[in-house]
Amino acid sequence: GADIPSEFNLDDPSRMIVKIVGEGIEDRFGSTLAVLPDITGDGKPELAVSAIWASGGQSGNVKGAGKVYLFNSENLFGNAGTNRNASTAEQKFSAAGNGSEFGTALRAGDGLLFIGAPFSDGRSGQSYIFDARTGGSTQFVLR
């Protein structure tokens, strides 16, 4: 059988496929990850990664709003052993509320991306469903 390593050295480029670095200090990039079935037609899945403390909103300066980054595998895995910045994601989703922690919960299926923001709307929480193929969204607020 194959010899499976018991530990990995993050500085060993022979073992690293790709490294994605967050946009900002203390964004908590990599908080949650989800794999989406192929939405680009290349036959490979896409990757969604959250940064729950990232600044977001339309202006990009809402503290702790949270962001979710969607990476197409075609572009993500093109050059093995490379580094990529989260700012180069093909799509970005964000909450508008301060301290929402958008992306705390992240699930995917059938081209849809389900995102939870437990501290939005005065800490009552919100859930979102995005069509990852188009970027369209539906927002749910439970009261």
Q: Is the pLDDT of residue 24 over 60?
A: yes
Q: Is the pLDDT of residue 107 over 50?
A: yes
Helix (H) or strand (E) holding 113: strand 112-117
pLDDT tens digits, residue range 53-105? Answer: 998 877 777 888 899 999 988 777 766 667 889 999 988 988 878 889 999 99
Task: Evaluate whether 115 touches 71 at the Cβ level (below 8 Å).
Answer: no
* Residue 124, burial from CB neighbour count under 10 angstroms (0-12, 13-18, 19+): exposed
Tokens of 73: 């595998």
pTM of the model: 0.83
Q: What is the mean pLDDT of residues 1-28?
A: 77
- pLDDT bucket at 138, cuts 50 / 70 / 90: low
